């Protein structure tokens, strides 16, 4: 079957890295491993320049109809002054909200060839392969009331509301257990049940789903602050870590830095399965932004974007073997010492965005 992909390159280095992602998709097509139909549209500042909105209704429609969305990056100083609702990030937030992308997957993989680039010791991170699963559409970033009020005595009081329902916790828990089954079969659920009611409910619901629906998957509970400490002490103890929006924001950034450069980190955001087809809405994007400081100079590392394609193969198209092949090609290319500037040692030779893409294609060809 042919898979229908919407490509949203965006701003800054977005179009450069998307070009390399397209090359990878074409290769899988030519090889007959899978066939893709792609459509490309504007998002972010590029869309604002064209139509005054960070994403148009036509593009939203395309995103809704696509099997998956590949997103580059948005933003840049050029759009600093645009109205708040039209700012480049609004395009991404609208996609997340309208597609109901509640599950954010952020793998932290440490390629052996890059283990010395981590801020931790080689033996702590070498071969690391963990996945942080962050709830993305609920919790304290969205809960109401959310306000700053002035009290009678003139003091101000700020309120944010951490709010989770059973349903929201159940659906993210199921994603965590399903993912663990395809990996090392272990889920670590991080919350703060010792001081937060939402942590108590989170703990109860995850426990119940685990017992009733996934008795074969190992489940442990960890306090979120301890989890941050453990991630830096011995991250290989984890497989899938599931947590709420706020803790996930922080823990995924901690995990990211275990592995080296921003230019290497992919992510996926998934929605609920369609009741009839089982297909989930999904968006794949690098963790990094539009890197205006290096845009247009062929300096960007395309690996985060290319690895995001790998996640699409794995999680949207059921092409786990193709995704494994792509990961292997990336690891092999790094092992030969091929580096873009962001991951090269100071003073050593670096390749361009396009040369890195070509090296990965060439490696795929030889595997
Ligand atoms: P950034 O991630 O764009 O850049 C941070 C640093 O990492 C820069 O020095 C950049 O050159 C480098 N870098 C990032 N990706 C790289 C890659 N693939 N290869 C080599 N080096 C890379 O974050 P920053 O500078 O805070 O934000 C720049 C713009 O991007 C802002 O407008 C921001 O709002 C936007 N942004 C967009 C995101 C998205 O589209 N999802 C996420 C984060 C920021
Ligand atoms: Mg963050």
pLDDT, tens digit, 9 for 90 and up, residues 225-269: 999 999 999 999 999 999 999 999 999 999 988 887 789 999 999
- Using 50, 70 and 90 to split pLDDT, how confident is the model at 198? very high
The arithmetic mean of pLDDT across residues 210-235, rounded, is: 98
Q: Is the CB of 109 under 6 A from ligand 1?
A: no
Q: Is the pLDDT of residue 364 over 80?
A: yes
Q: Is the CB of 303 under 6 A from ligand 1?
A: no
Q: Is the CB of 344 under 6 A from ligand 1?
A: no
Give the ligand 1 atom nearest the CA of 304: 18
Per-position DSSP letters for 92-156, written without gaps between them = HHHHHHHTT--EEEEEEE--GGGGGGSSS-HHHHTT-EEEEEEE-SSGGGTEEEEEEEE-TTS-E
Q: Which ligand is nearest to the CA of 13?
A: 1
Instruction: Give the active site residues.
Output: 141, 192, 225, 249, 253
Q: Which two tokens stand for residue 283?
A: 């968006």
Helix (H) or strand (E) holding 222, with range, is strand 218-223
Global pTM value = 0.95
- 89: CA distance to ligand 1 center in Å? 12
Q: Is the pLDDT of residue 310 over 90?
A: yes
CA distance 128 to 8: 30
CATH class of 1-109+260-367: alpha beta
The 10 Å Cβ neighbour count of residue 31 is 12
- Using 50, 70 and 90 to split pLDDT, how confident is the model at 115? confident
CA distance 46 to 157: 39
Give the ligand 1 atom nearest the CA of 74: 40
- 253: CA distance to ligand 2 center in Å? 6
Bridge-partner residues for 7, per DSSP?
40, 70
**68-72, 277-281, 321-325, 328-332: segment of lowest average pLDDT:** 277-281
Q: Which residue has the higher pLDDT, 305 or 262?
A: 305
Residue 351 φ/ψ, nearest 5 degrees? -100, 165
In 3D space, the residue among 112, 105, 107, 109 whose CA is nearest the CA of residue 126 turns out to be 112
Q: Which ligand is nearest to the CA of 297?
A: 1
The 10 Å Cβ neighbour count of residue 161 is 14
Query: The complex's ipTM?
Result: 0.98
CA distance 184 to 217: 9
Residues marked as binding?
A: 76-89, 96, 106, 134, 225, 249, 253, 289-301
Highest mean pLDDT among 113-122, 288-297, 343-352: 288-297
Residue spans of the domains in the chain: they are 1-109+260-367, 129-257
Q: Is the pLDDT of residue 1 over 80?
A: no
Q: Does domain 129-257 have CATH number 3.40.718.10?
A: yes
- 364: CA distance to ligand 2 center in Å? 32
Is-same-fold flag (1-109+260-367; 129-257)? Answer: yes
Helix (H) or strand (E) holding 187, with range, is strand 186-191
Residue entry with tokens 């040369």:
355
In 3D space, the residue among 102, 274, 105, 135 whose CA is nearest the CA of residue 206 turns out to be 135
Task: Find the helix packing angle between 303-315 and 353-366, rounded to 10°.
Answer: 40
**Burial of residue 363, with CB atoms counted within 10 A of its CB: 0-12 exposed, 13-18 middle, 19 or more buried:** buried
The arithmetic mean of pLDDT across residues 282-290, rounded, is: 97
Q: What is the pLDDT of residue 334?
A: 95
Q: Is the pLDDT of residue 347 over 90?
A: no
Q: What is the pLDDT of residue 220?
A: 98
Q: Is the pLDDT of residue 23 over 80?
A: yes
- 119: CA distance to ligand 1 center in Å? 20
Task: Note the pLDDT tens digit of each residue in 168-191.
Answer: 999 999 999 999 999 999 999 999
């Amino acid at each position: 079957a042919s898979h229908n992909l919407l490509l949203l390159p965006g701003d800054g280095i977005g179009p450069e890295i998307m070009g390399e992602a397209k090359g990878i998709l074409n290769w899988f097509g030519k090889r007959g491993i899978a066939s893709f139909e792609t459509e490309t549209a504007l998002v972010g500042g590029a869309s604002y320049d064209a139509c005054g909105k960070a994403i148009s209704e036509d593009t939203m429609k395309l995103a809704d109809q696509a099997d998956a969305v590949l997103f580059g990056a948005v933003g840049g100083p050029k759009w600093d002054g645009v109205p708040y609702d039209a700012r480049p990030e609004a395009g991404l937030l609208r996609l997340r909200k309208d597609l109901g992308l509640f599950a954010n997957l952020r793998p932290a993989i440490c390629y052996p060839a890059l283990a010395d680039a981590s801020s931790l010791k080689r033996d702590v991170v070498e071969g690391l392969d963990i996945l942080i699963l962050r709830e993305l559409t609920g919790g304290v970033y969205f809960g109401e009331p959310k306000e700053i009020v002035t009290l009678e005595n003139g003091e101000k009081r700020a309120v944010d509301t951490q709010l989770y329902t059973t349903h929201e916790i159940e659906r993210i828990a199921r994603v965590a257990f399903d993912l663990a089954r395809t990996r090392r079969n272990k889920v670590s659920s991080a919350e703060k049940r010792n001081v937060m009611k939402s942590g108590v409910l989170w703990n109860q619901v995850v426990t119940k789903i685990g017992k009733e629906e996934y008795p074969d998957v190992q489940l442990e509970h960890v306090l979120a602050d301890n989890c941050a400490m453990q991630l830096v002490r011995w991250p290989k103890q984890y497989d899938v870590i599931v947590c709420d929006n706020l803790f996930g924001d922080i823990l995924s950034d901690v995990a990211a830095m275990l592995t080296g450069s921003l230019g290497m980190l992919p992510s996926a955001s998934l929605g609920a399965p369609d009741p009839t087809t089982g297909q989930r809405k999904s968006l794949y994007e690098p963790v990094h932004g539009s890197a205006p400081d290096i845009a247009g100079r062929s300096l960007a590392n395309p690996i985060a974007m290319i690895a995001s394609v790998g996640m699409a193969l794995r999680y949207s198209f059921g092409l786990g073997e193709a995704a494994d092949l792509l990961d292997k090609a990336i690891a092999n290319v790094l092992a030969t010492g091929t580096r873009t500037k962001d991951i090269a040692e100071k003073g050593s030779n670096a390749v361009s965005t396009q040369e890195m893409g070509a090296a990965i294609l060439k490696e795929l060809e030889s595997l």
